[in-house]
Amino acid sequence: MKAAYIKRYGNINDVQLDEQSKPALTENAVLVKVHAASINPLDLRVLEGEFKTILPVQFPFILGNDFAGTVVEVGANVTQFKVGDKVYAKTDLNGAFAEYTVVQQSSLALKPDNISMELAASLPLVSLTAWQALVEIANVQAGQKVLIHAGSGGVGSIAIQLAKHLGATVATTTSSKNIAWVKALGADIIIDYKTTDFEQELKDYDVVLDTQGGHILEKSFNVLKRGGRIVSISGPPDRNLAEAINANWLLKCIIPLLSWSMRKKAKKSGMTYFFLFMQPNGQQLSEISKLVESGKINPIVDKTYELSEIKDAFQYVNTGRAKGKVVLKITE
């Protein structure tokens, strides 16, 4: 099968497009013919080796974290899916930038009936991130106030829609050119981060979803009320990451230390800091499918590329200017 892969950590120029072996099917997994996959900033971080200490990969390594496609074979213990089903998922066993991928049935869901494969492929990673942050961790309730950083990005654009569905008042940060767009997504309060300091404009918020890390994360504590929660996908990791990756005893000791000062700062102010390491989850993705089919969440795709144009697609994602997601067409 044709696949996009790397033989070493490096940069976009190290991505190769060539033949690779079709992944082997296990008894609890499903073989999917991939129609479309989406590129996430996470893929660039994996490519560059940012996680090699805690999550090393075996080379050659097929890239890609989410996809949509058609089931072509099921394992002996699979009961939830059959050949011919149209499905989508966040990958767990194999990469998505290939003509075929294998995924555990527990990670898989039927794709929403009302959208294309390309739109469906844009959703798993970002929608599961939004769901696990806002529903599972923060338990956002109607009437609460939620700040979502980078509202025009892949995670932010879905998180705004989900938070509004949950009944929250939503503030977001973006550039001036995207103000009307994020307002159309449902944002109530929009901060132009180039001209306005969000911490001077917002206060007494219940939840912050941080997608930026660094000084943005630090300043976000100043908009929370006592008892508030910060959920970060870019800040220092805590023990949740160590548990999620089944770390060895040494990493289980080291990883929580990385966020010690952040957690101490939060506790001192009566707040809570969480690091989110998103996990594949077919059951949650099925709930997201219902929201898509009912029009509560609309997938956002900025550009679509052919698999042969993968380096151009990576370059575009790397600019940080994408509104929503960038999708690769893998097979018809």
**Do residues 299 and 115 make contact, with C-beta atoms less than 8 angstroms apart?**
yes
Quick one: CA dihedral 314, 316, 320, 321, positive or negative?
Answer: negative
- Number of separate domains in the chain: 2
3-state secondary structure 162-194: HHHHCCCEEEEEECHHHHHHHHHHCCCEEEECC
83 and 173 together in one domain: no
* pLDDT, tens digit (0-9, with 9 covering 90-100), for 175-216: 999 999 999 999 999 999 999 999 999 999 999 999 999 999
pLDDT of residue 243: 87
Helix (H, G, I), strand (E, B) or coil at 30: strand
Single-letter code of the amino acid located at 61: F
* Residue 26 in domain: yes
| Residue 26 predicted with pLDDT over 90 | yes
pLDDT in tens, 116-125: 999 999 999 9
- Predicted pLDDT at 299: 97
Give residue 244's pLDDT band: very low, low, confident or very high (50, 70, 90).
confident
Q: Are residues 182 and 309 in the same domain?
A: no
CA distance 230 to 212: 12
Let me know if residue 17 belongs to a domain. yes
> Closest by alpha carbon to 256, among 247, 301, 305?
247
The answer on 268 and 145 residing in a single domain is yes
Domain that holds residue 93: 2-123+299-329
Output the average pLDDT for the chain. 96
**Mean pLDDT, residues 237-247:** 87
Residue in 8, 43, 32, 149 with CA at minimum distance from that of residue 160: 149
* Domain identity same for 62 and 134: no
CA distances, 12 to each of 4, 56, 122, 162, 221 (Å): 11, 18, 21, 32, 35
247: pLDDT strictly greater than 90: no
Mean pLDDT in residue range 51-74 = 94
pLDDT of 332 > 80? The answer is: no
CATH number, residue 6:
3.90.180.10
Strand, helix or coil at 301? Answer: strand
If asked whether residues 236 and 167 sit together in one domain, one would say yes
Tell me which H or E stretch contains 242: helix 239-244
292 falls within a domain: no
Angle at the Cα of 30 from the Cα atoms of 28 and 32, rounded to 5 degrees: 165
Same domain, 269 and 315: no
